Amino acid sequence: MKKLATILFAAGCVLAGQAQINVDSDIDAVSATEGYFLSNGVFVNNITFSGGNEQVGIFDCVDCNVGIGSGLILATGDAVLVQGPNELGSSTVGGGNFGAGDADLEMLVNGMTINDASILEFDFLATGDSLAFEFVFGSEEYPEFVNSSFNDVFGFFVSGPGITGPYSNGAVNIALVPGTDLAVAINNVNDGLNSDYYVDNSTTGTDETQIALDGFTTVLTAAIGSLTIGETYHIKLAIGDAGDSAFDSAIFLSDNSFVQFCSEVVQFAPVDCQVSEVDYDFNYTIDCGHVTLHNISEVNIDADDCAWDMGDGSALVSGCQSVYEHTYDSPGTYEVKLIYSYGEFQAMEIKSIYVSDVAPATPVIAQAGETLTVTNWDGVSAIQWYYNGEMLSGATEESVDILGNGTYMVTFENGCLNSAETTVTSTEEYTKAGIHAYPNPTAGMINLELPQDCIQLSVYNALGQLEYSTNTTRSLIQLDLKFSGMKWVVVLRENGDLERIPVWVNK
């Protein structure tokens, strides 16, 4: 799975250039596996974890001495305590699930009792004839307990069609010393045996680039071939304390490294490995909480279904459209998943999307007589009214007086923008008034058609202050209104009635 280059932890953000390993054990095992171990296009099912919650986590180790930049960690104790510096030699790192064992691990150490077992396992669909991933094994038992009976143990056990081995369900262990059939363990990789694959970390001190384990392997690769494409296989990744529950150990699994591929031989006959040609990916653009996702996956598996998971609790959107749009309600970091399903298996692409700002709510406009009002203003967003496409200068309150028939638009703006429109077709006020003002809105000069029985014309501002008044019996008059804002044109008729209409001046 592809993610942001920097892992965000609950304790804060790991800044570029920081070399100390950082471990987060608050994440659940399923999310850690999907997001920090599996590579693109791997179909998995039934991800389970056995052990204490503190024994599994994710880590960021850019430039620290473990050799892997980030990924998933399994430990026999509290995974967080592998963080450096290495201030004590052969010190237990605490935690763990005492008494929890595993029969396959016991076979690797000739029947010794296993404690503090940490076990991650899942089924996967073979989309290639080969499987590989990178790892580092480290332990506090280095170097003092090399060649002793205290030999913390781990194994990567793969079972399925065509595999015959001595472990549960006919599994084989693929955690082997390169070029041998020896299991990776402190008695098989140390400063005296297979030392090319060993890193001595026993020197104590305050160097935060060091992890807290006294020794560990170089980056190794676990691999298996001869898988049958389209068949279901099972993998169990397990680590435990052998003979005691102290001096803990850990496995570092490299981020995005669990890959399936075609061997060199099969590559010459691509039809036999066609199912492995899977590349799930998407890109996105985001503007004010509105994200547009572009599915750019290259898939030749006939997937049963695919869906978008937007990470905000909204329902999955099936169909995997080439373009999908979604709007978030609040700022934050969202984990977006593009999920393909093949039978009971799923493969997914995961990306973290940061939403810094979201648009305000869509305005809701209500009309009452000669007034339009937005009913859902948040009291913070800026308001602006428009009439027939023209901004009404100064119309920045919840309500605006209707100027005449036409289209009214109001916007909310908080750094992001949202708007709504309504159309006014007729009002009793305008029919009764018998006054026609144009253009309305105006830049200042306005033409007024007045009733035949008009005897006085007045113009008031929105505060009710008189700006212009004249006695007139003319039916057509032109005025130059000097100040911006909403005005009331008021006509006194011969029978004593007052009629009025609003006009808007945009200077």
Q: Three-state SS for 80? A: helix
Cα 140 to Cα 72: distance, rounded to the nearest angstrom: 19
Element (H, E) at 459: strand 454-461
Please say if the pLDDT value at position 120 is more than 90. Answer: yes
Please say if the pLDDT value at position 10 is more than 70. Answer: no
Place of tokens 């023209």: 390
Instruction: List, for residues 162-186, the tens digit of each pLDDT value.
Output: 999 999 999 999 999 999 999 998 8
Pairing of strands 114-125, 436-438: unpaired
- Residue 12's contacts (CB-CB under 8 Å, 6 or more residues apart) are none
Please say if the pLDDT value at position 250 is more than 90. Answer: yes
pTM (2 decimals)? 0.70
Instruction: List, for residues 359-385, the tens digit of each pLDDT value.
Output: 898 999 998 878 899 999 998 999 999
- Residue 56's contacts (CB-CB under 8 Å, 6 or more residues apart) are 25, 29, 32, 49, 72, 73, 74, 75, 79, 118, 120
Please say if the pLDDT value at position 17 is more than 50. Answer: no
Please say if the pLDDT value at position 90 is more than 70. Answer: no
Residue 116 pLDDT: 84
Please say if the pLDDT value at position 217 is more than 90. Answer: yes
Instruction: List, for residues 315-349, the tens digit of each pLDDT value.
Output: 988 877 789 999 999 999 999 999 888 888 888 88
- Residue 497's contacts (CB-CB under 8 Å, 6 or more residues apart) are none
Cα 454 to Cα 449: distance, rounded to the nearest angstrom: 10
* Residues, the chain: 507
Please tell me which of 95-99, 202-206, 273-277, 485-489 the model is most confident about, judged by mean pLDDT: 485-489
Of 339, 349, 290, 281, residue with least CA distance to 315:
339
Q: What is the CA radius of gyration of the chain?
A: 36
Cα 266 to Cα 128: distance, rounded to the nearest angstrom: 9
Sheet holding 172-173, edge to edge: 172-173, 153-159, 232-242, 114-125, 44-50, 345-355, 332-342, 305-309, 317-318
60-to-63, 70, 235, 414 alpha-carbon distances in Å: 9, 4, 24, 36
* 449-455: Cβ within 8 A, 24+ apart: 449/475, 449/476, 450/474, 450/475, 450/476, 450/477, 450/491, 451/475, 451/491, 451/493, 451/499, 453/493, 453/494, 453/495, 454/491, 454/492, 454/493, 455/492, 455/493, 455/494
Cα 446 to Cα 479: distance, rounded to the nearest angstrom: 5
Instruction: List, for residues 435-481, the tens digit of each pLDDT value.
Output: 888 888 888 999 999 999 999 999 998 778 899 999 999 989 999 99
Buried b (16+ CB within 10 A) or exposed e, 297-309: bebebebeebbbb
At 300, the pLDDT band (50, 70, 90 cuts) reads low
Look up residue 212 and give its amino acid: A
Residue 275 pLDDT: 42
**Could you tell me if 265 and 294 are in contact, meaning their C-beta atoms sit under 8 angstroms apart?**
no
Please say if the pLDDT value at position 140 is more than 50. Answer: yes
Which domains are delineated in the chain?
17-270 (no CATH), 277-355 (2.60.40.10), 365-424 (no CATH), 432-505 (2.60.40.1930)
pLDDT, mean of residues 14-21: 51
Element (H, E) at 48: strand 44-50
Please say if the pLDDT value at position 110 is more than 90. Answer: no
pLDDT, mean of residues 237-264: 81
Cα 64 to Cα 85: distance, rounded to the nearest angstrom: 10
Instruction: List, for residues 384-395, the tens digit of each pLDDT value.
Output: 999 988 888 889
Residue 187 pLDDT: 87
